[in-house]
Structure 1
């Protein structure tokens, strides 16, 4: 019985079927949405004391940390899903288009 670990090859990125620049736009979108996530999560907490006005009879910083950040996360996920569904549909239509002779 051998104790050597089996070699596991990482799967290659699925490049076939996608137009040039598809994955670059995908990574750029992910980077932008991660920056929005970081700002919503840490930016507001860093400046929370300056956000001292009332919102629905609660301090705004408390409201944003408790509710607004969660809503922002849902918006980020929904935006990513919508943009990528459109990009996938465009790639699918480009694949189905007849080649120019």
Structure 2
């Protein structure tokens, strides 16, 4: 029982980290900090615009791969079998 509790606690921590990073990138960089970021150019586009249009999507995809990798490590740590 303790092993299950520990597994889900670590899983929820990973989910919270992913959601926090995605929120900061999409809402923080794409909306709240768009004006200061627009002073910087990336590939000819204003950085604030880039984060609002592309950056949050790229971050989301990267977080999916990171979460998958972390969950594989967590499964091995807690001896969880694939179904």
TM-score range, shorter chain: 0.7 to 0.9
Structure number with larger C-alpha Rg? 1
**Runs of 5+ unmatched residues, structure 2:** none
Matched, 1:87 2:74: yes
Task: Kindly state the Cα deviation for residue 20 of structure 1 after the two structures are TM-superposed.
Answer: 5.1
Q: Supply the distance in 2 between the matched residues of 1:22 and 1:41 (Cα, whole angstroms).
A: 29
| Alignment TM-score, normalising by the size of structure 2 | 0.81
Matched, 1:33 2:30: no
Which SS does the other structure have where 1:87 is aligned? helix
How many residues matched? Answer: 79
Matches within 5 A, 1:51-66: 51=37, 52-66=39-53
Q: Which has a greater percent of helix?
A: 2
Moved over 4 A (4+): none
**Runs of 5+ unmatched residues, structure 1:** 1-14, 96-101
Task: Kindly state the Cα deviation for residue 19 of structure 1 after the two structures are TM-superposed.
Answer: 5.4
The answer to which of 84-93 and 63-72 deviates more is 84-93
Q: Supply the distance in 1 between the matched residues of 2:50 and 2:11 (Cα, whole angstroms).
A: 32
| Alignment TM-score, normalising by the size of structure 1 | 0.68
Q: Supply the distance in 2 between the matched residues of 1:23 and 1:80 (Cα, whole angstroms).
A: 14
Q: Supply the distance in 2 between the matched residues of 1:91 and 1:54 (Cα, whole angstroms).
A: 45
